[in-house]
Structure 1
Amino acid sequence: MDVLQNMMLFSELIQCGGNIYTWCYDADGKLLKSNCPDEGFLSGAFDLFGCKQRMMDYGKEYTTPVSLGTALGMTWAAAFEKDGDALKRAWVIGPVFYQDVSMRGIEQGMQYYGRMETSVAWTMQLYEVIKKVPVLQSTILNRYTLMLHYCLTGEHLALSDLYTDAQPIGHTADRDPGHDRHKVWMSEQGLLQMVRTGDLNYKQALSTSMGISAGVPVRTDDALRQSKTSIIVFASLVCRAAIEGGLSPEEAYTLGDNYIQATESAKTLSDLNPLPVMMYDDFIRRVHKCRTNPKLSMQVQKCVDYIEMHLDEKIRAADLAALVGYTEYYLTHKFKEETGLSVTDYTKFAKIERAKVLLKSTDQTVQDIAASLSFGTRNYFSRIFQEVTGQTPMEYRES
């Protein structure tokens, strides 16, 4: 596979959807090339807002793609070309906004970077360049990012494999602070519900939630202390949710204490960064294990786990049968005998449960949620949702 030829074609294709540019950095973070007319300024902004360093740190350790948010709401996404385990090049698309932003919103976002040494002229140029940054739905950017990863590696990934490295977005003048706190609370409830149910397909919801809130608003200039406080609070909430999900108090509290001790022992923000995701994943997997139905055969449990991990895809009984080495006829009968539901109904109910979490914990539109769960249309999604819950998606969100 010729990566450079693939990337030339990819760059041309996504340009059909608007002014969405591609960038290439070497393993040392040097910009090799881009097709952006504002290359010099936007590459500087990418660096100044900390996105380049976060991308390089992530790319040297991981192989999956990442989206990189800023407090302004401006977002880039990156995928990585590796030589063995070593980073060879990082490829970036963006920037984009997920929604229209006002200049007041940009000014508020800039307050997050209050200690940056920028001139008035630079800030004014930023405002002018931002006017040309396209607005793109998050689901579309995510799918472009999966395509980018495929062009570089030939590997198919699911939306849940994407990682979001977000920074808190500045409050706009017309935003109600009380509503923002309510949104944080709803997001928190969605995350805790995923712990209670041992939902392994949690990555997108967790990443989105981390972009909604910067954590506990401790009044301090000590960023390390603030991060530690936020992680400790998060660990305490997750620990209790895990107990409600069936994990024994002894195991849950011991595990929570270990993560809290690891948090307090961290010396730098780099040491802290992986801990909340690691802790959340650990608790969810333990709850999932203790909630696994002992009456299910290994093959049917494998199918159930596959469904829960691939809710963003169209799932067919034939694919599940191939996964466990059964004929489709035998698998469908065995699945219904053990779970009480057909493969289609089980998948439908699982997708609706995920939709309920997204409706509660994110600002995604009903259209975006329908697309992210591979429902053909918004109308079809709404009809199925109402069949299962007795409410339309909007009624459920508002209630």
Structure 2
Amino acid sequence: MIAVAGISHTSAGFESLATFTGKYTRKEEASLHLSGQIWVETCNRIELYAELEKTSQQEIENILLRQFGLTQKPAGFYVYTGGDAIFHLLKVAAGLDSAVLGEDQVLAQLKQSFQRAAEARMTSPYLNKVFHKTFATGKQVRSLTGINKGNRSVASISVSLADRFLRDNQLSKNACILVLGAGETGNLLTEILVDKKYRQIRIWNRTADRAIELSSRFGLETVATSSLPSAYQDADIVLVATSSKKTLIDYQVEGTRKQRLLIDLSMPFQVKPGTIIPGTTHFNLSQITAIREQTDKSRQKAVEDALQLVYAAQQEILSWQDQKWVAQTLSQWRSLLQMVQERQIRDFMRDNPDANPEHLQELAIRMSSQVLKQLAWTIRQQQLTDEGSQWSKLLATVEPYEQLN
């Protein structure tokens, strides 16, 4: 069965998520209890999707908690199994559980997480199939519902706030902008800023090579770590998008400084409490989420349509499990019939030594084939009712036996 465990901005809020990010221990090594596992870690969530044998809910929770290095569920931590886990995964892929409704970025992040797990040989055939269906559903939701139309990513919302800040303070696009972080969000921020004709953009990253690579793409300036405090002081706009667990901005800028916009898109937050001085306008992910919610209200119809597509995909995935039970049932009964026919032919030949064993074998195979066809037809008919799955599971538990005689 499929299960998911994790914590997100939806379940715990950004502050609790940031605290959890700094404390948990991720165990990605193979586990005897897990057939496959895929870790998804973004600024909005930390989740483990896994395939494991069906057991009690409590045992599943214990197994998954151990993968996080935990013994108890912290506040905001969730564990979903079976259909609920599949529904959750599909909602995430559709952008229905994102900080920015319908965002495209989360689908790309899921694909990257899956690719990493596949390269590490940590997935399973069934988990692969579920994720590929999830990717197709995420793409279908966006193309059919338009849930991402007019949508703004975290990066584009931030640049819109920068635009407004410049207008309000009568600044030109020659204003000095400092981008802290050259990862995925930092790249996106830079691309949007360059596209909007901002001219003075400076890039810093903890790993200098990445900052140099991003800067060289657009002919921008790179900031060395030793120059970061002065670069911060010179900046009109500071956009922070790093994944460091250690607070980056932990100093105050003293003196008379013109208005500054500081947007922290990191998780955990990179701005130390108490460092914001008068004149600095500060936004973080929680406030970006509030902006997103205003847009969400006007897109309720798209959400309803997306949920219908998600529900249909969930039912299709669940039907695969029923089909798996059918295949297991027929395989089990094929073995049982073969064992029975071998026993009966042996007993018949003992009492009738002149009989032709090849003819008996052919007759037995024909009879077994007819029984299997009838069994398969009966199961398919039962699948048209709510009892189909129960029938398949019941028949699949019948084991070949030696004690019949």
Tell me the TM-score range normalised by the shorter chain.
under 0.3
TM-score, normalised relative to structure 2:
0.26
The higher radius of gyration belongs to: 2
**Structure holding more helix per residue:** 1
TM-score, normalised relative to structure 1:
0.26
